[in-house]
Structure formats: C-alpha cells, structure tokens
A and B are shown apart, each in its own frame.
Chain A
Amino acid sequence: MGQTLFDKIWDAHVVSSKEGFPDILYIDTHFIHEVTSPQAFDGLRKRGLPVFRPKQTVATADHNVPTWDQHLPIKEELSRYQVDMLTKNCAEFGIELYGLGHPFQGIVHVIGPELGVTRPGCTYVCGDSHTSTHGAFGAIAFGIGTSQVEQVLATQCLLQSRPKRMKIEVNGQLQKGVGAKDIILYIISKISAAGGTGYAVEYAGDTIRSLSMEGRMTICNMSIEMGARCGLIAPDETTINYVRGREFAPKGEEWDKAVDYWKTLYSDEDAEFDSVLSFNAEDIEPMITYGTNPGMGIGVTQNVPATADVEKAEQPSYTKALNYMGLHDAQPILGKPVDYVFIGSCTNSRIEDLRQVAEFVKGKHKADNVTVWVVPGSKQVQEQAIREGLDKIFDAAGFPLREPGCSACLGMNEDKIPAGKYCVSTSNRNFEGRQGPNSRTFLASPLTAAASAITGVVTDIREFLKEEELV
C-alpha cells in the first residue's frame, strides 16, 4: 500500500518506535520566541543540561515587540524583561537570535520560510500553535507547549504519537476577489473549530496547487483553528522556486540532492487517509467571521445564523458569542460599521499580502471612522515593501506601514483594539478579548479588510472589483 506525504516525512524522522510508547521524533529545526521559552530555559538550568543542538535552534522576538518606534526601548516593563530574557538565554546557551534591530527579525512563522530555514521534508516545532504554517512546504510542523520546548532544547526530539491522516481537497476556479484566506475560513466554517482535532491534514486539489507559497502558508497557518495537529501541502515547482537562493537554502550539489529528494514527497495514489473531505472552489465567497471562534464564519453576503437553527445543546454558547459580538439573530454582516482594520499577523503579513492590498488601495483613501494598521511580518518584508514604494501608497491611503511583529493579533503588545470596538482583521483568531479586552473581531482576507477600511463598513470586495472592471 502507498504512503501519505505525512507518513513519508514522519517515518524519515523516527528515532525510536516502541509499542505502548509515543514515537521519539527527530526535530530538524526548533524555532523559539520570547513568550514560551523562558520557563524551558529555567528547566534546563535546574536539570543542569545544555541545549543539545543549539545550531538547530532559531530565535526571534515577535509577540511582545512594539510596531512603532522599534529603535526605542520597549516601554512596557514586563514585555521588555521577557525580550531581554530571550537575549540572555540565547547568549548563555549559544543560540542564534534574530532580535529587535536584526535585519532578519520578524514573526517566527514569517522568517523561517523567507530565510530558507523552512524546507520540504523536514520537521519543525515551536512553542506557538501557528507553527502549522511551515507545513506549506511539505514539512511536518507542530505547535508545542513549554514543557515540550524544554524537551526539544534538551534532546532535539519530541515525544509524539502519530496522528490520524486527513486529506482536504479543493478543486475548481476561485471567484475574483476570493483567495487563500477565504478558502481556509470556508473549510473551518464547514467542519468547525474542532473538526480537524487529532489529524494531520494534507491540503490537495488543483485550487490548492494554483496557490502561491504565501497563499499555501495562509492555509496551513490556520490548520490549528480547526483543531488539526498540523497541515501540509506536497512540494512542487512553486515550492522549489520559492526556496531557491534563500539565505539558508542548500546551495550547489546540496541543492540538487535536496530537490531530488523533495520530488519524492507526495502522497502515493493508493495512500489511505483516515478521512477525506472535498470542496468546490466555485462555492467559496469572500468569507468573514461573526462569532468568537474561527468556525463561526459565513460568506460576506450571508446573514448571521438564527439561534433556532443552531443545535439545541450549542445554543447557550452561541447566544453568548452573539452577545459578546453585539450582533443578533439573522443579522446581515455586510454594511456593519467597523472601527479598526488590522492587516498583519503570521496568517497575512507577507510581501504578497502587502502587494495585493497596495494594488487595491492605490488612489483610494480610508474612511474617516476607521483606524488602519498595516504590520509587515518581518524586517525583510518591511524593507521589500519600502523598496517597491508600497509604503507611499499606504501612506496616501491612510494605511501607515508599521514595523514587524505579532501586533494586534493577540493583545499582548501595545497594539490592542479598544473594548467594544469592531476590527476587521487578517489574523487567525476571533476569540473573546483576543485583540484586547472586550474587543470584537471579524476575521477576513487582506482584500476584504482593505475594502472595509475604504468604505468604513464590512464590504464585499467583489463589488469593488466589478466597478473597477467597468472603469
């Protein structure tokens, strides 16, 4: 019987497989950041252990960093302390740090791929659930907790039971204005925020194949939002072309050898999956969430579901979510006034996202009632945007280009959405208080976010694109 892509990579990394025990899985690269690592380093000190393979560990500061005036000391004392601890720990244990001020600094899931650290056929972990992003290259990438961060620092291995395998196919032509973010929000809305729990999910089908690496990263990034252990996409020419020539990509003969191997990384025709789901690209509208988990999403022209249509047992939680969002049964979401628009996060802060937004907003201006933040995923993305003159387009539109970091995705740094305010956000989570205490999040694509910033209300990007075609 054939093997799935996931199993091929897993099997190539098993150090030990013993009945009754989880497998010991070898980890090629361990990404760390300031929030989930300090207790792990403390653990090593208590055990008197070094970092086993410091050269296979890459560190950056992203969650706590300000995205304005980054050259100044971090104002918030605890944030500054946590970032300083990372610097100290990396120095003590011999780990390369791309900290504030370094040309490679940025969101951990943006810098790995852009530096060529993320490659097909490898295993990655990070103390961050959106590590699933790296699977876009045909890799196994898990988000882990701090005890496991300590485990990987100490051993370069992760103790893990093999998850079940799911294939999600998307085939067909996307509508204009519909992109990778809409695909993944659509899938999660169909299978729920728990629909992928226990699975490694491989995305396949001609629609997925047609996506750029940035789009594939957006899809894999949100695998965790349906509960999946990880997400991955088989590497192809798009993948190889993206990795070629990057800072840490293999070179010369090593490159040729790597590419030969990468070409063996796909699910065999007769590989068996524990679950297979299939969706049509034509059915996908620009998506938006209305509730307090990423599964609560609808096409932007649809109405919020009525409570009576929700399963009885789930109605109290549903009502709680609508109350939090200040929405009511069967309400249209289109035309709802918004206060903030956030374009950024490990889901949508790559150069392609910024180019797409810039192309759309060129010659337009944001509505007066909206504050817009555009936050590049890394220093390299920021500099590329400036080289291409995107910053000027953004400035003219009232969309200031900020400095790299996790920003308003998680309400941990200075960038928070105020209580009660609505934010159309390109990030990945609409949980209560995620973007700041009592903030209200509508998750959407960069284009939907940009269009809503221009009009000041939740907007169907397709209406804009139609008009532009007429002109």
Chain B
Amino acid sequence: MSTKIFKHIQSTVVPVNIENIDTDQIIPARFLKATTRDGFGNNLFRDWRFDEDDNPKRDFILNNPLYSGKILLAAKNFGCGSSREHAAWAIADYGFDAVVSSFFADIFKGNALNNGLLPVQVSDEFLAKLFAAVEADPNTQVEIDLVDQFIKISATGEMEEFEVNPYKKACMTNGYDDIDYILSNTALVEEFEQGR
C-alpha cells in the first residue's frame, strides 16, 4: 500500500524552540480515543495551543499569524515519551511535511517515517542558525531535499547534509511501505518458523 511520496519541499517554517517535546504535548492522551487516523491535527499541541475554555493561547507560536508553513522546527530530543503514532498523525494532519531538530527520539522517528513525515536531524549549530533566521524573518524560506539529503536556508544558501536510512529513503521517495517489503519475503518467514 502506498504512502505519501516525499522528494523535495520549500516552505516557510514554524519554530517551536522548546527541548524535550514529548508526545503527550504533541497530542495529549485524552485525544487518543479515535479509531481512525484522521482529524488529529485539530488537537496538535492542544494544551499549549488552547486554554481550558478552548480559546487559543496568544503566546503560542501556532497561534501567531506571522508563522506558517510545512516545516516544523523544534529544539533537541523531539518526540520523546509515549510510542503513540497519533503524534506523527497530528503533525502531518495539521499540514507539516517535515520536522527539523538536532535530536529525535527513536520511536517517534520511526513513526514519522512510516507516515510520510520526514524527520530531519541537523547539528546543534545549524539548528541554532535556523531558529535565528526564522525568528528574525518569519518569511524565511527553507528547502529540504530528500533525494540529495540536504537542508538549505534559501536566501543565504547556508546548508547542511542530513542522514536518512537508505531503505526508508527509498520508501518515502517511491511511496512503498514496510508491509509490502516483508510480505514479499513471506517464504523466508515461514522457513524461519519451520527451522525453529
């Protein structure tokens, strides 16, 4: 079954300069009761975005009209905590195609890759440059190229290469998923079971 194809994007950026953003912040547990994958974007960062009466909190970046775009920029150790894939669904459903940070939690990274949401891990220095550029000018355009594995600040040309698992890269650029791959190896799985 195909997933979303990702090759190259250019977009403005939404900066959330907070470390250790856990998946309970990305999508609190009380919103995990849905039985489909849709609509989680409405509750992305719910308790940072809205007060108890569901009014938008003016000081949170997602409520700042100056900032929008397909790229979410966050400080280190993004996506730690619970394995809930709903976190990746919420970010993608809100409209982001990529998350950029200097460090990702393992399970979140895997979940994102399985949903066509690209986690881009950059150095601390480049992350600081990105925050500085975006905070100075909310219209800053950033390019992310998965095929050639680089991220670039369009105006200045400052760029950095990023790593991505070659298998997951092939999946994302072609829209394959893991189940297709394992199913193509079913004979090996059965052979393994018989050999035990």
B interface size (C-beta, 8 A): 54
Which residues of the partner chain B approach A52 to less than 8 Å between Cβ atoms? 189
Q: How long is the Cα–Cα vector from A457 to B158 in the complex, in angstroms?
A: 53
Q: Min CB distance, B176 to chain A, in Å? A: 11
Interface size class of A (residues with CB under 8 A): 35 or more
Which residues of the partner chain B approach A411 to less than 8 Å between Cβ atoms?
28-30
Is B47 within 8 A of A437, CB to CB? Answer: yes
Least Cβ distance of B190 to chain A in Å? 10
For residue A194, CB closer than 8 A to chain B, the reply is: yes
Judged by a CB distance under 8 angstroms, whether A317 is at the interface is yes
B116 to chain A: closest CB distance in Å?
11
Q: Are B35 and A148 in contact (CB under 8 A)?
A: no
User: What separation, in Å, do the CA atoms of A26 and B191 have in the docked complex?
Assistant: 11
Say whether A36 contacts B25, CB under 8 Å.
Answer: no
Nearest CB in chain B: distance from A50 CB, A: 12
CB pair B179 A47 closer than 8 Å: yes
Q: Which of B143-161 contact A (CB under 8 A)?
A: none
Bound together, the chains give a CA A47 to CA B110 distance in angstroms of 21
Write the nearest CB–CB distance from A16 to chain B, whole angstroms: 5
Contacts of A198 in B (CB 8 A): 106
Question: With the chains together, A82 CA to B167 CA distance in Å?
Answer: 34
Contact with B75, one of A78, A317, A410, A432 (Cβ below 8 angstroms) = A317
Q: For B183, list chain A residues within 8 Å (CB).
A: 154-155
Are B35 and A39 in contact (CB-based, < 8 A)? yes
A residues in contact with B103, CB < 8 Å: 194, 197
Interface residues of A in 398-437 (CB under 8 A from B): 410-412, 419, 429, 431-434, 437
By beta carbon, the residue of chain A nearest B103 is A194
Which of B25, B80, B185, B188: most chain A Cβ within 10 A?
Answer: B80
Nearest-neighbor residue (CB-CB) of B178 within chain A = A159
Cβ of A46 within 8 Å of any chain B Cβ, yes or no, is yes
If the complex has contacts A155-B183, A317-B19, A433-B24, are A129 and B83 also in contact, measured as CB distance less than 8 A? yes
Q: CB of B1 within 8 A of chain A?
A: yes
Contacts of B29 in A (CB 8 A): 63, 410-412, 434
Chain B residues near A85: list those with CB within 8 A.
35
Q: Which of A138-146, A206-214, A262-270, A381-389 contacts B (4 or more CB under 8 A)?
A: A138-146
| Distance between A78 CB and nearest chain B CB, rounded to angstroms | 4
Asked whether A145 and B28 contact (CB < 8 A) given A151-B182, A157-B182, the answer is: no
Chain A positions within 8 Å of B, measured between CB atoms, are 15-16, 20-22, 24, 26, 35-36, 38-39, 42-43, 46-47, 52, 63-64, 78-79, 81-82, 85, 127-129, 131, 143-148, 150-151, 154-157, 159, 161, 163, 193-194, 197-198, 224, 227, 229, 293, 295, 313-314, 316-317, 320, 410-412, 419, 429, 431-434, 437-438
Q: A145-B84, A156-B189, A432-B47 are in contact. List 11 more A-B contacts (CB 8 A).
A: A24-B185, A42-B36, A146-B111, A147-B85, A147-B111, A148-B110, A155-B182, A155-B189, A194-B77, A197-B77, A433-B28
Sample of 19 A–B contacts (CB below 8 Å): A15-B189, A20-B166, A24-B185, A26-B193, A42-B36, A46-B1, A81-B35, A143-B83, A147-B177, A148-B114, A155-B179, A157-B182, A163-B106, A194-B80, A317-B18, A320-B18, A431-B24, A433-B47, A437-B47
Query: Which 9 A-B pairs rank lowest in CB-CB distance, beginning with the nearest?
Result: A145-B85, A78-B33, A145-B111, A38-B35, A147-B114, A412-B29, A129-B83, A143-B83, A146-B85
Q: Mark B residues whose CB is within 8 Å of A.
A: 1, 17-20, 22, 24-25, 28-30, 32-37, 47, 52, 75-77, 80-86, 88, 103, 105-107, 110-111, 114-115, 124, 165-167, 177-179, 181-183, 185-186, 188-189, 192-193
